[in-house]
Amino acid sequence: MCGICGIVSLSNQVIEQSFIKKMCHQILHRGPDAEGYYVKENIALGMRRLRIIDLNTGDQPIFNEDKSMCIVFNGEIYNFKELKKDLIQKGHKFYTSSDTEVILHLYEEYGEKCLDKLRGMFAFALWDKKEKKLFLARDRLGIKPLYYAILPKYFLFASELKSILIFPDIKKELDFTAMSDFFTFLYIPAPRTIFKNIYKLLPGHYLTVKENGKMEIRKYWDLNFAEKPLGNENDYLEKFLEIFEEAVKLRLISDVPLGAFLSGGTDSSLVVAMMSKLSNKPVETFSIGYEGRDKYFDERQYSRIVAKKFNTNHHEFILKPNNIDELVEKIITHFDEPFADASAIPNYILSKETRKYVTVALSGLGGDELCAGYERYLGCLLAEKYRRLPNFLTKKIIPALVNHLPDSSQGNHFNERLKRFVKSANYPFLQRYFQIVATFNEEEEKKQLFTPEVQKFIQRPSDEIFYDYCPNTNHPHLNNMSLIDFKTYLVDDLLTLTDRMSMAHALETRVPFLDHKLVEFFVTIPAHLKLKGLNKKYLLKKTAERLLPKEV
């Protein structure tokens, strides 16, 4: 795991090495073990390395045989040994044991189609000296970040915004449309950032920059929710277990200590169960607990049950209310733009404490989007039945009663969810789902929040994002909600949060539920096997019955 950055001079000016070193210094926390640079005339690449695989010879940049190409890479390629074997048979010669070098030779062999063969999480930059071309790519689900900026004389890229912002030609101008999106979602959806002319490369996309300054972005992979018959319920379950076990096994490849986050929920518990099956020693597991009024969120009783069942070396850490103020400023510096998911705080603490024991941690992240685990999915579908009630109930009596319910101060959000359900239920499907997830809505609150002068700079309403990602509302509503979350909430909230809070402490996080082969299988499963009646995560829970204690 690393941090990468780079500069291309579009006017063929010589780049000073001091620029790329300053950019690298901003992301030192991502890679405290080593640094490396490639600076030649109008191109500069830099990286900070956290050593995970090939501790001795894997420092970057890495070159091909004739040094006509080089690469800087952030991530892990889990099938690199298999790919390397094939490349050696084709005549390629390797001087390291790293997964980074495999990408370079794959590109030599297959060009931009090399991305189709990679299984893992990645963001990398490859410089092709002969073609005078920079090739940037981001993994299919957006697990690893990649930002870029387009200036009159330069093209810049980096793992974090702070590396780009340090460049002297950057103007820190506010993107008002991104700001509007933030007040809707509490994060900023890609490809925008809070700054004009700085963007996030979308998941499943690559970008090329040529010597003449011509830039091109292309999509190489996408989700396709197309249900395919496989057989009965048990057939789907068996297939899921087969791919899930493979996904976890691949993520156990490491030359440094490795463990798992264990919340006590179904997703993280299944990851630990599979790790225990595949490991020849006890798994290191890590949980966070809460004191004060946040005890409502404390699930340590379940993580302890799982830890006992699988005989893990279990570690617990407590988040106390009086710790929080001193953390906020540190956390803000790692996001570089507005971000308002409060779970950043426990994630920061959990990552900090976990790093004292291991360098890599597996996570259950992605299970809710993949397997239909959110209450809002259930609420949006139940609204179809609610809408059949008489209008005098749904538009007058019930809203009047619900709006008088008090908000909870103890962490139980049932009343708030009920209010949001009643408020959104009468909208058509996509607009209803938008109303459920939006913090400030478009019709009333945004107009009160922003002055008329600011509103002139907002280029489009935030709900257009949902229509962009979900043009076909004829698909099952559950699949459309999952698709929207994969494109927005998962990548720009949850994965961003996980990456920043773990890399703040040089901890690598791996997410088996977001193995692209597992995702490709799950999007073919009929919606009724994911959400059955009122039972969320139906297929996953049926799987869990085989592996986990009944209480979980």
Catalytic residues: 2
- 317's tokens: 């850490």
C-beta neighbour count of 333 within 10 angstroms: 11
How many residues are there in the chain?
552
Q: Which of 278-290 are b and which e, b meaning 16 or more Cβ less than 10 Å from the residue's Cβ?
A: ebeeebbbbbbbb
- 381's tokens: 């579908």
Query: Is residue 134 within 8 Å of 126, Cβ to Cβ?
Result: yes
Closest CA to 506 of 28, 29, 27: 29
Strand pairing category for 34-40 and 120-128: unpaired
The CA-based angle 533-236-118, given to 5 degrees, is 120
In sequence order, the 6+-apart residues with CB closer than 8 A to the CB of 376 are 433, 436, 437, 481
Name the CA dihedral angle for 27, 28, 30, 33, rounded to a multiple of 10 degrees.
150
55: exposed, middle or buried (C-beta count within 10 Å: 0-12, 13-18, 19+)?
middle
In sequence order, the 6+-apart residues with CB closer than 8 A to the CB of 514 are 121, 141, 143, 365, 366, 370
